[in-house]
Amino acid sequence: MAGLYARLDAERARMKGAYAAALRGHGGAPVERDVEVRALAAEVRRLRVADDGLCFGRLDTRSGDQHYIGRIGIFDAANEYEPLLLDWRAPAARPFYVATAANPEGMRRRRRFHPRGRQVVDFTDEVLGRPGAGERGDAALLAAVDAPRGDGMRDIVATVQAEQDEIIRLDHPGVLVIEGGPGTGKTVVALHRVAYLLYTRRERMERHGVLVVGPNPTFLDHISRVLPSLGESNVVFMTTGDLLPGLRVTAEDAPEAARLKGSLSILDVLAAAIADRRRLPDRSVPIRLAGVTVRLDPDIAAWGAEDALASGLPHNEARAVFAETLTWALTERAIVRIGRGWLTRDDRAAWERLRSELRRELAADDVFTATLDELWPLLTPQALLSSLYESPDRLRAAGADPALWRADGDAWTVSDVPLLDELVELLGRDEAADRAARQAAEQRRRAEAEYASGVLDTLVGRADSMDDEDHLYATDLLHGEDLADRFVERDGRELAERAAADRDWTYRHVVVDEAQELSEMDWRVLMRRCPDRSFTAVGDLAQRRSAAGATSWARMLEPYVPGRWLHRSLSVNYRTPAEIMTVAAALLAEFAPEARPPESVRACGVEPWARQVTEEELPAAVEEFVRDEAGRAGTSVVIGPPGMPGTMTAAETKGLEFDAVLIVEPAHILDHGPRGAAELYVALTRATQRLGILHLRPLPPVLARIGATRQPDRAAQARLV
């Protein structure tokens, strides 16, 4: 292990030296030098992430060879084609994940190292083929799943199993759906698949980055360390509420409103709401042009509207067509009056000169501008949708359900985001907003260039103390703006910032976690963000709590990727011990009898407990749980019904895992909305070791098997574990 780290340090030093030399730019064209700088910067980044757990495994072949497996590939200094350490994503490393006793893939032993920093503190051996007496093939896996949980999700690169590895390395260009019950590792499998795709398709994927969509900010923070630990940084993490830059979500929809907004039928409502804002005058509008009065009649307005709609352009862009038709008709009428007796159509030059003058006058005319605004107003998504929600009359005119009404139209919800995004498409560009955005981008670029120029000046100043042969000349470097571009390309966080701020940014791949919660409209937004339709979607239909969520993967995906989506299942539960999963499976059988619960890979020896308390006793009982768990390794959480102080809701814990979970008043969770059973199922399956329940009301019948017991004391639990 020490030899691998020595080689890593030497390679880092070599790359840093090459990078510094490339910045000096001795010889060569600037463009070639810039390409070299970017490539070396990427290599420096790759080497930077590998300190902790550089090497995590070894394969011993039946012929006696040994292959070390790690986070990155490292090659022999004397022979760059001889790997000292295999990158876990390389084809040669695959037997480390898929070899079994029944199919050893030519391997005799799989060794998993347990590092701490740069030191190996322990290792676990698995004998492949025919194990001898007392030998097991699952020792490393059990050690990993039994380990206490930390603040963030761990990568499973050292313990990933064959079922998971097959999915990680699946080469499918469309949408891959990974479905699995609680604890099957579907999220971390999806993240490792991203790392694998970035490894195998780096040129195609790296410049545009990857989008990871999760159910809430807590979950995203939980998983955000996995990809950087695998050497990947060009990743953007968002919830569906973040998909429209600048929008602030402040409210939550009732289930019925969320269902209505999530259905594709809302597209008809949006189109009708736009059409409702367009008008035809009920009488002629007189307009003075060059001393004569012309009338904008209803038939001219209807003609203009017909042309605008026939153009197929979005509403705001079609306004130009509408205005052009009206302008042509009004100037034509004015020319006829002004030129009566001296101007004919045969004199095309004079006719067009007069038309040009009249066009300028008409464009500046207040009456004409006000009429345009009334008949075909410029609309913004937020103003249109807000005014629609606040007006029963407008909702009725658009054919919308009255359940969409709300007093504060600007109290945006997550379900509003896809509607607003759709309106961007339907309304088209806002020229004033585009100009402001371009100006802001130009200001940022000037600031970056000024900063980069300052860096150049600093480098040149330092060069004054160098020997002549190492002297750094300003003329050897690119200009400040070019250096600013380098910073943008080189900094993965900068790419993430740019992508998150740009509604039109497109990604090469999108990961959707808790995908069963996404509505039809949510999928419509995400498909826009990824024109290649390259997705990894993970979820569990049985855990759906959203009224607008998926009841069928085919219904959600077939309209966008017909025949280009695959479904794969994970069946083994690595998180939830059998004692807890037995309780959860009984609940699952009641509300989703068609669903098959995942099979727990282990037992923990600690039975779930339940305790009935009074309202006066409840705070002390919760405090007792918190105090007891504070003295243990790992994490814990208290889950309660919505609105209960001091607890998290089941929705807030989706995708998370804890060593110990306390559920307060499960009957209230069960009664919360039409998907209360799914929420309680989520709450029951968050624990990796210990589950307790406090209840005021009697336990729901489905939980009665837990029995009326008191919370076990710590000494008793320690003996059980």
Q: Kindly list the structural domains of the chain, giving each domain's residue range(s) and its CATH number in brackets, ordered by start.
A: 1-149 (no CATH), 175-244+504-570 (3.40.50.300), 258-427 (no CATH), 431-487 (no CATH), 578-703 (3.40.50.300)
How confident is the model over 427-441, as a mean pLDDT?
70
User: What sign for the dihedral angle of Cα 303, 309, 313, 315?
Assistant: positive
How confident is the model over 153-179, as a mean pLDDT?
75
- In this prediction, residue 129 carries a pLDDT of 63
- In this prediction, residue 418 carries a pLDDT of 98
The response to whether 184 counts as a known ligand-binding position is: yes
Predicted confidence (pLDDT) per residue in 237-270, tens digit: 999 999 999 999 999 999 999 999 999 999 999 9
Q: Is 125 exposed, middle or buried (0-12, 13-18, 19+ CB in 10 A)?
A: middle
CA-closest candidate to residue 195, choices 117, 87, 93: 87
- In this prediction, residue 455 carries a pLDDT of 54
Enumerate the β-bridge partners of residue 512: 213, 537
- In this prediction, residue 333 carries a pLDDT of 93
Decide if pLDDT at 487 tops 80.
no
- Please give the C-alpha separations between residue 233 and each of 19, 88, 207, in angstroms, as whole numbers: 19, 17, 11
Indicate whether this model's pTM tops 0.85: no
The response to whether 186 counts as a known ligand-binding position is: yes
Measured between alpha carbons, how far is 511 from 211 in angstroms, rounded to an integer?
6
Which has the minimum average pLDDT: 36-45, 65-74, 336-345, 373-382? 36-45
Q: What is the DSSP letter of 491?
A: -
Left (φ > 0), alpha (ψ -120 to 50) or beta: where does 304 sit? alpha
The response to whether 392 counts as a known ligand-binding position is: no
CA-closest candidate to residue 400, choices 255, 267, 521: 267
Helix, coil or strand: residue 572: strand
Amino acid at 695: H
Neighbours of 641 (CB within 10 A): 22
The response to whether 654 counts as a known ligand-binding position is: no
Of 56-70, 382-396, 471-485, 674-688, highest mean pLDDT: 382-396
How confident is the model over 443-461, as a mean pLDDT?
60
The response to whether 181 counts as a known ligand-binding position is: yes
For the chain, give the percent of residues with pLDDT over 70. Answer: 79
How confident is the model over 399-414, as a mean pLDDT?
97
Higher-confidence residue of 80 and 411: namely 411
- In this prediction, residue 721 carries a pLDDT of 38
Decide if pLDDT at 456 tops 90.
no
Decide if pLDDT at 108 tops 50.
yes
Higher-confidence residue of 386 and 197: namely 386
The response to whether 327 counts as a known ligand-binding position is: no
Decide if pLDDT at 650 tops 50.
yes
Measured between alpha carbons, how far is 205 from 188 in angstroms, rounded to an integer?
20
Measured between alpha carbons, how far is 630 from 633 in angstroms, rounded to an integer?
8
Decide if pLDDT at 479 tops 70.
no
- In this prediction, residue 558 carries a pLDDT of 95
Give the alpha-carbon dihedral of 340, 343, 346, 347, to 10 degrees: -160
Tokens representing 628 are 């007891």
Tokens representing 90 are 């390389």
Measured between alpha carbons, how far is 183 from 686 in angstroms, rounded to an integer?
8
Beta strand 599-600 pairing with 572-573:
parallel
- In this prediction, residue 717 carries a pLDDT of 45
Measured between alpha carbons, how far is 529 from 525 in angstroms, rounded to an integer?
7
Predicted confidence (pLDDT) per residue in 516-559, tens digit: 999 999 999 999 999 999 999 999 999 898 999 999 999 999 99
Which has the minimum average pLDDT: 104-108, 453-457, 567-571, 615-619? 453-457
How confident is the model over 185-190, as a mean pLDDT?
87
Query: Which ranges of 282-430 would DSSP assign to H, the alpha helix?
Result: 298-310, 315-338, 348-363, 366-375, 381-390, 392-397, 416-427
The response to whether 231 counts as a known ligand-binding position is: no
Contacts of 235 (CB under 8 A, 6+ apart): 194, 209, 210, 211, 212, 227, 492, 496
Mean pLDDT of the chain: 83
Which has the minimum average pLDDT: 63-67, 125-129, 383-387, 405-409? 125-129
Residue 440 CB-half CA count within 13 A = 9
The response to whether 183 counts as a known ligand-binding position is: yes
- Please give the C-alpha separations between residue 596 and each of 115, 573, 587, 651, 713, in angstroms, as whole numbers: 37, 12, 12, 22, 34
Higher-confidence residue of 19 and 401: namely 401
Measured between alpha carbons, how far is 228 from 383 in angstroms, rounded to an integer?
40
Higher-confidence residue of 71 and 317: namely 317
